[in-house]
Amino acid sequence: MIHISLFLSSINIQGFINVNSTTAPYPDVQLMTILYDQFQVDFNIILNDRFGAQPFIPPIAECAILTYCSDAYLACYLKYMTLNLWHPTGTCKMGQSPIDSVVDSNLRVFGVKRGLGTTRTN
C-alpha cells in the first residue's frame, strides 16, 4: 500500500482582516471554493483507472449525515480537515497615524492595547 497526501502549496489569494470588527472571522468562501475545485481535480486524477488507485478518505463525525464521498461529503471533509503547512503571514502599512496606516514604527497595531503581536518577517 502506498500513501499519497495532497498538498496545495501555491494558492494565490488575497484577503483582509478587519481588526476593529466585533464579529468573529469566518473562512473566506472563495478560498474554500478554490481548495475544493483543486481537490476535485486531484481526486479525479487518483480515480483514473490507469493508476488503479483507490482513495482513502476517513469518515469523520462532522460529515456523517452526508453520503460518503459525495460532493457534499468532500466539501464537508475539506472544511474540517484542511491544514496549513506554512505560517500564515500578511502585510500592512506602517506609519505615524492610524488614519493611513496599521502599525507604528515599533510594530504596535493602532487601537489595540494588548494581545496582538506583530513581527517583521523580511
Task: State the pTM of this model.
Answer: 0.46
Question: Domain extents for the chain?
Answer: 29-81, 89-122
3-state SS, residue 31? helix
Q: What are phi and psi of 117, to 5 degrees?
A: -105, 145
pLDDT, tens digit (0-9, with 9 covering 90-100), for 61-99? 999 999 987 888 888 888 888 766 666 667 788 999 988
3-state SS, residue 30? helix
- Look at residue 48 and tell me whether its pLDDT is greater than 90: no
What's the CA gap between 93 and 13, in Å, rounded? 19
What's the CA gap between 40 and 30, in Å, rounded? 15
